[in-house]
Amino acid sequence: MLAIAEAAAAAGRDATGLAPNLDFGLAALAATWGLDADCAIGLFAIGRSVGWLAHAAEQAETGSLIRPRARYTGPEPRPAHANRARD
């Protein structure tokens, strides 16, 4: 299953120039490990929850809200794509 996922990722990257997204990775992980299809969303939620808890702990420690503001000003990281938002 892992070889199939790697081949599919490579084919997608060759066809579009884009790397696989998190959803692809989670689906490949679930398929490789023989998990139910619904497990991928659970894995995503666990990872997201850990991040939220880390932010909450940092905010509690510093006594202030974490509200990062940043705007990327470097080169376009990937080619324009039909389903990407345009400025």
H or E, element range at 5: helix 2-16
What total number of domains does the chain contain? 1
Query: What's residue 70's pLDDT?
Result: 73
Q: For residue 15, what pLDDT band results from cuts at 50, 70 and 90?
A: very high
Query: Would you state the pLDDT for residue 43?
Result: 87
> Would you state the structure tokens that stand for residue 23, as one six-digit string?
């959803």
pLDDT band at 20; cut points 50, 70, 90: very high
Round the average pLDDT of the chain to a whole number and report it.
Answer: 83
Residue 55 in domain: yes
Tokens describing residue 64: 């202030």
pLDDT at 86: 53
Is residue 32 assigned to a domain?
Answer: yes
Is 27 part of a structural domain of the chain? yes
Domain assignment present for residue 2? The answer is no
Q: Tell me the torsion sign for CA atoms 77, 79, 85, 86.
A: positive
The closest alpha carbon to 8, from 31, 34, 37, belongs to 31
CA 25 to chain centroid: 8
Write out pLDDT tens, residues 36-73.
878 888 888 998 899 899 989 998 998 887 776 777 77
